[in-house]
Structure 1
């Protein structure tokens, strides 16, 4: 269990009118929360800088508006912002918690410290600084020009790759530029990011912090090289169909299925994960208004477990003391679909119902490859990333020094070479690799190699021509064209099904399903489903606000709506194939029994039919199945 303290540089400053000076009652509140979480065995990830940099509450808007410029200044070594980082990290880490009697830096409840949230996201915005923050732009241009002149200082003018005008006034490159200067421009950022992390590491050392540190890289290959050399842990961030425009009229949310796109959100971590070290995805979500939120526990969390990732933290708002908020893009506590997904995910991932792959594969990169023209500012080819649906995949570098705090790992079972690159979509709040329609020939040869080496067993049904993907363990299967995906483990089973489709798993059988639904069955007494005395059945569909309006496609929002939250109701016929008499109860979101659902025993086990609209206390995703006493 883990809680990421994202936005701490604003939460601690609530109602403060003095820069860098939080009110004592909020310091006490955080100390108490750290103590209480520790008592529950919940670890914490501390973010030093997010957006607000410990400014007073009255200055939050201006500081947040300048977030990209501040990140550029931090990367390029501006003394003022780095002194601020040094001061505030020292005060926080050396603060003694009166409840635990430990300084934060010495408390093992803090599993890792994150220096600066999504630092590399600012790099593409350097070209925009000229009109928004001209002083920052001037500082950046001077650094860029100095780097270029220093790199070629000993190269005769006649042999330099660029004319004198480039060295006199180094041009700023946009994200689409693929000229010869691109590699030098990205190397400039690569070197400065490495220096930034060395600076941050030293600040931690000076403060006596001996724990782990991490950062969130961007998908550009220049960042992958930095991660390999500089980070003991990578913490990636990503969203399925990130909103554009929030909840305002005209805001957009794509209506893509993550089954149909073979879990693009999951696969975009291809170049983020470094071989032989921990990997977190501690900011992620399937956002509200996307019609396929129900797919998340299979298409993200289960595959993360199969790839043996180390931490997952949904963003955001997982706990609510009152039920008084309408649905919004990221908020989870009042969203029954996300609640159901987190329940199943805690079993697939945290309980490790989903077995990790027995083999490890890695794409082998070199610094030369990264800084080959056109690669450094691009992402790895997403086509090859589909291997992540089959086995445990990560990235390694063969010619760069490994981070000094990372032990030498064993050699992967399978090493392969990259095949091309992909453009990146840069947004003010995220960056993600684009699917580029590259030929699948390289993927086909890789799958054939996995079969030849016995990594994929003979009975594995993966078929690229049909877009069928099955993990080497056989527990996870995706039928992308059918928008169907399943998980079958001894303690839990689930299937994401389109309306009108049926499916027979091992214990769970869906004989009727009238709406798009994730149907799951999980043991909650830690026994196999065939022996469990208490199980939970999940029927996860879709949610909306009352009077919410959007266009026919569902993409464009017109009116966000109000409470109460609405839940899409379906009609189902479910068969539970296991011996023993069972009783079934509809549960509230917090687990209380609300009403009993009649079951019909049969030769194979028990069956029931359900019309969600007829439940006495309203629809719910949760149903208890318990052995009859």
Structure 2
């Protein structure tokens, strides 16, 4: 989870009450949010979760993709449920709640879950080191067993909280504490981390009969969440204090001493040394400004990469010695050249990414209210360029955050492009992806908040669509893989923020991209080294080779990008993303100046921005033949009584409270097929199917409003009868 940063004070003439009382916003009536089996939102019939056993343990299969141990040639797509509970969001459920919750996750289409900040929950309110709360430990153990019974694998952080399992702290979910940095530097911190793994992952779960570390359900351990040295330094930087912790100075000097024969040799390379700086006495200083480019900074980045590689190897050995056979990853954020080198030798790559990041929940927290489509899905592209080809790639966190008014885009952007890239796990971050009901008494359940997607009908509609586009595989993987060659340390520059250039990450909107060692580059692709070119040159080479169809409509100058599969089309200037597949057709749009023809579905007009999707919901889905289809229409949602400090609604003053309000909207839709009879029925947020609100015979065309007689919703069921 991203750290909470102090927001700068903003002085304005007065607060701006959000226009939630307007008749353009209607209150959600649903209370229970539990699906019943057989609901149109129950995907378990065509997305079944099987048994988890030795044959179905997740491994790295052929092509570097996740697969079952017994069928390494069959890649899997894993839709992940983020479980980042804290006391403020209700904590881990009791046994009965865990059974219901795990079952609901399976019905929603999730087949893997990530436990995040479990260490903080176990140590909340505890005064002694490793004195886990026995009730919390029991609930975690029971939940893990319930997830496994429902065919849901586990991802677990070896460390989430910088307080680890030290007793006596009440800020375990904050960015305080230096354990993540010290893991790289001192033996006591490493020993603490090792003991944490032994006492939590190595302890037998009474409900499964085996320790999690040896359970076939544990697919991935993230050694420590967001554990890069540079990032941790940024998190802990404070005004007036040094950019880097002084604890790094000694190890950095020792590293320099091995590399350079003398202070004179170091000065020749760097071009300068202070009068009081001598390599022989270990007095070479850390950079005073992390944003100042220098040879000193270049060497510091090289030191970080080497130190991080050593740390990851040491921690991985601990897990292996405990009997762990699953995948291991770490350094799951910051797509810089330096962090890419640190991830080079990992078994799997994990990455976190956000669009319109929010620093916290306090009054004054702000976002930019910009569209992710308008910037070419940059939050997706920057992690695409952090992937090492030939290894499983796991998106351990992503979100397009509340209260951004364009967040309906997330339900199309991330699952569509994750599918195109052939990524292995997709995890939209939140306290939990679902809740069983509105109205829980916990502070973080009393209103929609950033990093809390479960209460947000717009985010939930996006996750519903993700189960179809991504896990079901409606969007096909690219047939092209464009590698970015990495030489190693020589790729480091003097800028600590250096990353793959945007002119090249644009290629992720068209085909698969990722990193490869330079010595494998020639075998990987028949075009020149990508870093020396622009996207246009690479695309021309792909067209000339026949890899990219000549009728592909990509025009980077005009901001139009079409995938090599022909299924995805992004238009930056129009603010539109279109997906057309045999099983699902969808569009996210900030403007609709003319109709959007997706094939079977045509969006004639809309009264505002939003997301429209039509999906066949049967075992062999085809929009051209299906008689039962799920229609999604998502606009925007807010809390009642929200207050902003500005008219553009960028700066929050008060999040308000439940009930959730949906922005009223309508769209005019038409299908290229007809039926002897057709009906459109609203589907509640709990999956209940209500009586039809539209019906007809012959051609299918209708106006759809999300404000139904049964309350506002984002879901509808289209049913067709043949004559």
Common fold by TM > 0.5: yes
Equivalent in the alignment of 2:340: 224
Cα distance change, pair 95–414 in 1 and its aligned pair in 2 (3 A)? farther
In 2: Cα distance, 1:264 partner to 1:616 partner? 39
Given candidates 484, 490, 494, the residue that maps to 2:576 is 484
CA contact (8 A) 1:175 1:377 kept: no
Given candidates 159, 167, 172, the residue that maps to 2:278 is 167
In 2: Cα distance, 1:411 partner to 1:19 partner? 52
Equivalent in the alignment of 1:607: 701
| Secondary structure of residue in 2 paired with 1:50 | coil
Given candidates 515, 521, 535, the residue that maps to 1:443 is 535
Equivalent in the alignment of 1:430: none
1:22-73 alpha-carbon deviations (Å, 9 max, x no partner): 1222222111111111111111101011115443675131784434x32221
Equivalent in the alignment of 2:585: 493
In 1: Cα distance, 2:405 partner to 2:239 partner? 40
Equivalent in the alignment of 2:249: 141
Given candidates 474, 483, 508, the residue that maps to 1:388 is 508
Equivalent in the alignment of 2:693: 597
115-124 or 282-291, larger mean C-alpha shift: 115-124
- Superposed displacement of residue 249, structure 1: 2.4
In 1: Cα distance, 2:343 partner to 2:199 partner? 27
In 2: Cα distance, 1:144 partner to 1:492 partner? 53
1:578 is aligned to 2:673: yes
After superposition, residues 320-335 of structure 1 pair within 5 angstroms as 320-324=435-439, 325-335=446-456
What runs of 5+ residues in structure 2 fail to find an aligned partner? 1-110, 440-445
1:586-616 alpha-carbon deviations (Å, 9 max, x no partner): 01112101331122334xx312223334x11
In 1: Cα distance, 2:411 partner to 2:235 partner? 37
Query: Superposition RMSD on alpha carbons, in Å?
Result: 2.5
In 1: Cα distance, 2:651 partner to 2:598 partner? 37
Cα distance change, pair 506–390 in 1 and its aligned pair in 2 (3 A)? same
Equivalent in the alignment of 2:684: 588
CA contact (8 A) 1:364 1:418 kept: yes
CA contact (8 A) 2:153 2:217 kept: yes
Equivalent in the alignment of 2:102: none
1:71 is aligned to 2:174: no
- Superposed displacement of residue 153, structure 1: 2.7
1:341 is aligned to 2:462: yes
| Secondary structure of residue in 2 paired with 1:383 | helix
RCO higher in 1 or 2 (8 Å CA, sep ≥ 6)? 2
533-542 or 5-14, larger mean C-alpha shift: 5-14
| Secondary structure of residue in 1 paired with 2:449 | coil
CA contact (8 A) 2:596 2:603 kept: yes
In 2: Cα distance, 1:333 partner to 1:531 partner? 33
In 2: Cα distance, 1:15 partner to 1:181 partner? 43
1:196 is aligned to 2:196: no
| Secondary structure of residue in 1 paired with 2:135 | helix
Cα distance change, pair 594–628 in 1 and its aligned pair in 2 (3 A)? same
1:195-233 alpha-carbon deviations (Å, 9 max, x no partner): 1112112211221212210111422211111211x2111
Given candidates 301, 309, 319, the residue that maps to 2:423 is 309
| Secondary structure of residue in 2 paired with 1:61 | coil
1:25 is aligned to 2:135: yes
CA contact (8 A) 2:553 2:562 kept: yes
1:509 is aligned to 2:509: no
Equivalent in the alignment of 2:15: none
In 2: Cα distance, 1:564 partner to 1:57 partner? 38
345-354 or 183-192, larger mean C-alpha shift: 183-192
Cα distance change, pair 299–384 in 1 and its aligned pair in 2 (3 A)? same
111-120 or 97-106, larger mean C-alpha shift: 97-106
Cα distance change, pair 556–126 in 1 and its aligned pair in 2 (3 A)? closer
In 2: Cα distance, 1:570 partner to 1:130 partner? 46
After superposition, residues 179-578 of structure 1 pair within 5 angstroms as 179-215=294-330, 216-228=332-344, 230-244=345-359, 246-316=360-430, 317-324=432-439, 325-371=446-492, 373-374=493-494, 377-398=497-518, 411-414=523-526, 416-419=528-531, 442-501=534-593, 502-526=595-619, 527-550=621-644, 551-578=646-673
TM-score, length of structure 2 as denominator length? 0.78
CA contact (8 A) 1:389 1:469 kept: yes
CA contact (8 A) 2:333 2:353 kept: no
CA contact (8 A) 1:363 1:415 kept: no
CA contact (8 A) 1:43 1:109 kept: yes
488-497 or 164-173, larger mean C-alpha shift: 164-173
115-124 or 522-531, larger mean C-alpha shift: 115-124
544-553 or 386-395, larger mean C-alpha shift: 544-553
- Superposed displacement of residue 497, structure 1: 2.1
TM-score, length of structure 1 as denominator length? 0.89
1:624 is aligned to 2:717: yes
